[in-house]
A and B are shown apart, each in its own frame.
Chain A
Amino acid sequence: MDALATVAFYLGVIAYSAACTLFFLDLARQGSPASRSTWGPRVLSAAALLHTVHVITASLVTHRCPVESLHFVLSFSALVAVAAFLVARKFASLDAVGVIVAPVALTFMVGAQFVGVEVTQDPLISRPLLVMHVTANVLGVGLFVVAGAASLLFLVLERRLQNKRGAGLGSRLPSLDTLDGAMHRLLMSGFPLLTFGVVTGALFSRHLEDASGAALARTLFGFLTWIVLAAVLLLRRIAGVRGRRAAYGTLAGVLCVLLVVAVYAVRPGGHGT
């Protein structure tokens, strides 16, 4: 089983690397989004499959539930991001977003190997609630990573169109409307999960009498993320703020999410230590 986990990991890394290359090559090629190659998504799907095998077998080897190990939590977030992307591309011409999602997934999968400290559970925190908290956060991070990738591509294409530099012609990027719609839908899907994560996180923090600086930073960035993304969604709803400003807002929110993840990775204190 251990050998299977290791093989799945290395093959997954190779497949993610190949997917990154294929997405970059496809983006660099001339032609419309309609003439895109499907090899990038196919290889990415294979990478995700190997990644899943790795997560399952490794958790069986270590006898740990994936949500109780930071290693698996990070790795699993990448998997969710890839799954969200692969599902989203079925509904809209979003293949170019893979050029960001694939490298992020690769980074998370490899990076997780270096932060393999277990989450130490506080005895006062309900285990089922902790599991739901982590699961919601993992799913939210995955969705926000794809939303961030879409907003980044939106800003690139919008800048090209405004500056009239080749006007994005021949580019394989999706249209602005497609990227804007994807951003919005991914935020809408991830926001309830984020809200749940923030609320349960706040409940946990009441138990943390001597919370560390890292735990405070996590909580702070968690609230900041919620406020930024709530503002993006609310302003879109009531004032029709979309396009460039919404993309910047989304990107800011996603950066906050990544900061929370970074704080976990740099100083993994878990819930209750």
Chain B
Amino acid sequence: MISVVGLSHKSAAIEVREQFALPADRIPALLTALVARPEVGEALLVSTCNRVELVAAARSGAPLEAVARASREVLSALAPGAPREALYALTGGGAVKHLFGVASSLDSLVLGEPQILGQVKEAYEVARRAGTVGAVLHRTLSRALHTAKLVRSRTAIGSGQVSVPSVAAELARRIFGDLAGHSVLLVGSGEMAETVARLLQTSGARLLVVGRTPEKVSALARSVGGEARLWADLVATLGEVDVVITSTSAPGHVIELEHVKQAQKKRRGRSQFFIDLAVPRDVSPKVQGRDGVFLYNIDDLSQVVADSLKTRSREALQAQEIIDAEVKSFDRWADAEQATPIIVALRERIRAALGAELSRSMKGRLRHLGEPERDALETMLDASVNRLLHGPTTRLREAATLADLDTPSLVELTAAIEHVFALDEEPEADLALSEPRASAAPSAVPRPEAPELASAPDVAKLGAR
């Protein structure tokens, strides 16, 4: 069905991964080059900062191993110097399970992160625009995204925050709600503190910056779009702000209990949130527990992160069960699809034979018929073919999905049908020339162009087809 070849944060270090990074505008060309290979029918590339994976489907009759080989060659050409063992290759059920896991964020660096779903969708869209996606990848990606949505809605895989800055920002929201109109004081500098400040600022908070060195403070205030204050104004400024982020290298506390008491008085009891990211700590622990004052140091925030990750890991087990069930359901569909070529061939042969006879009659005894009557006969012919082939189609699909020793296998049935109907031989000239009309009933031939990814209900409809 499909193969997945690539590398991720689990198989390769960033030094290796970055060699495979491909600018977005070069992806269509890469995909086109891959599907130009005789064994590859469809392809798409999932490219994020943590993974580069080529997902490909075989051209009819080609073995998946050959598809994986072709994908590996195309990928390797991107980074000739990279070690070959960095690339992994998965085929068949393993590849489907992997893809479903990737879309569900079980294979992400940060378990349960939501961005991957959008990235997989984007990968599909890029491939669709490049014309390298057909029925197989459309169906596979639809099911992968459907599975990811199931995992997200039925488990708590995305619960909690899993980075210190996002935890701090979320806590601020738990206290103040909408941060628009609130003010944040950044005391000192530090990468994490600045990230927290920026996160709060993007939520609408006003930013003030205080530091010991005026030049540094001004520069920092400019870079984060805040207002610079003097170190001497620290205590006075405390009363103005709702959130205080501290990250100085001071050897002792820079904010004592007395300072907080003064600030509280000025703030008339309004809540205040202290985020102390410094080691040694900047805010006196005596502040902890005061009514309306919330103090979190780096250990507290890290503990919240650890708790969230623990919850997500627990949820991952449940998510894996959902994925296994979905892969099983997908496998059944994929098995049934194996019967498609013989069904299509049989339908074409029978339709052509009947069409040829009808055409002959139209030129002979039935030549007096007008256009409406001819149309009615064509419609009747299509309906007859559908009716005639309903039973064989069902049995062929059953043979493809059921491994029953008492009934003939798909291979046996296919061989028998090919032999009985001489499908392996060229049709007679008049049969080959006879084409069904445009209004003929829909055939089981996959559509040449992949549609946009269906929403969940549409996916369900596809599954029922």
**Chain A residues within CB distance 8 Å of chain B:** 30-31, 93, 157, 161-162, 164, 166-171, 173-178, 180, 236, 239-246
Contacts and interface: CB of A to CB of B under 8 A. Distances in A.
Given A161-B171, A242-B269, A166 B307 contact: yes
Nearest to B300: A164
B271 A176 contact: yes
B300 to A, nearest CB: 5
10 contacts: A30-B156, A157-B174, A162-B294, A164-B304, A167-B304, A168-B171, A170-B156, A176-B174, A241-B269, A242-B292
B177 A174 contact: yes
B177 A175 contact: yes
Contacts of B161: 169
Nearest to A168: B174
B156 to A, nearest CB: 4
A241 B269 CA distance: 6
B291 interface: yes
Given A30-B159, A176-B271, A169 B170 contact: yes
A167 B167 contact: yes
Interface string B244-273: 000000000000000000000101111100
Given A30-B159, A171-B174, A176-B175, A162 B271 contact: no
B367 interface: no
Contact of A93 (B158, B177, B265): B177
Contact of B269 (A164, A175, A240): A240
A169 B167 CA distance: 8
B303 interface: yes
Interface residues of B, number: 30
A239 B268 CA distance: 7
Given A240-B268, A242-B269, 20 more contacts: A30-B159, A31-B159, A161-B174, A161-B175, A161-B294, A164-B303, A166-B304, A169-B171, A169-B304, A170-B156, A173-B174, A176-B174, A176-B176, A176-B177, A177-B177, A180-B271, A236-B269, A240-B270, A243-B271, A245-B291
Query: Which 3 residue pairs of A and B lie closest in terms of their CB atoms, listed nearest first?
Result: A240-B268, A175-B177, A240-B269
Given A243-B271, A243-B291, A175 B174 contact: yes
A166 B267 CA distance: 27
Interface in B177-194: 177
Contacts of B291: 243-245
Contacts of B436: none
Contacts of B271: 176-177, 180, 243
Nearest to B178: A175
A93 B158 CA distance: 22
B173 interface: yes
Nearest to A157: B174
B175 A175 contact: yes
B176 A177 contact: yes
Contacts of B93: none
Nearest to B270: A242
A250 B167 CA distance: 31
B160 interface: yes
Contacts of A243: 269, 271, 291-292
Interface string B151-162: 000001011110
Contacts of B267: 240
A245 B268 CA distance: 13
Contacts of B300: 164, 167
A175 B167 contact: no
Contacts of B391: none
A245 B294 CA distance: 15
A245 B158 CA distance: 35
A167 B299 CA distance: 13
Contacts of A169: 160-161, 167, 170-171, 174, 304, 308
B289 interface: yes
B296 interface: yes
B173 A175 contact: yes
A180 B176 CA distance: 10
A246 B270 CA distance: 12
Contacts of B177: 93, 174-178
B113 to A, nearest CB: 15
A169 B170 CA distance: 7
A169 B300 CA distance: 13
Contacts of A93: 177
Interface string B207-233: 000000000000000000000000000
A164 B299 CA distance: 11
A162 B173 contact: no
B175 A177 contact: yes
Most A C-beta atoms less than 10 A away, residue of B156, B159, B177, B294 = B177
A244 B269 CA distance: 10
A171 to B, nearest CB: 7
A243 to B, nearest CB: 4
Nearest to B304: A167
Nearest to B296: A164
B308 to A, nearest CB: 7
Most B C-beta atoms less than 10 A away, residue of A31, A169, A173 = A169
B241 to A, nearest CB: 15
Nearest to A238: B268
Nearest to A160: B174
B156 A162 contact: no
Nearest to A246: B269
Contacts of A175: 173-177
A185 to B, nearest CB: 15
A161 B159 CA distance: 17
A6 to B, nearest CB: 40
A148 B159 CA distance: 29
A176 B265 CA distance: 19
A90 to B, nearest CB: 16
A240 B159 CA distance: 36
A41 B294 CA distance: 32
A177 B292 CA distance: 10
Contacts of B175: 161, 175-177
Contacts of B296: 164, 167
Most B C-beta atoms less than 10 A away, residue of A93, A167, A180 = A167
A243 B267 CA distance: 12
A178 B182 CA distance: 14
B176 A162 contact: no
Most A C-beta atoms less than 10 A away, residue of B161, B269, B296 = B269
Nearest to A235: B269
Nearest to B159: A30
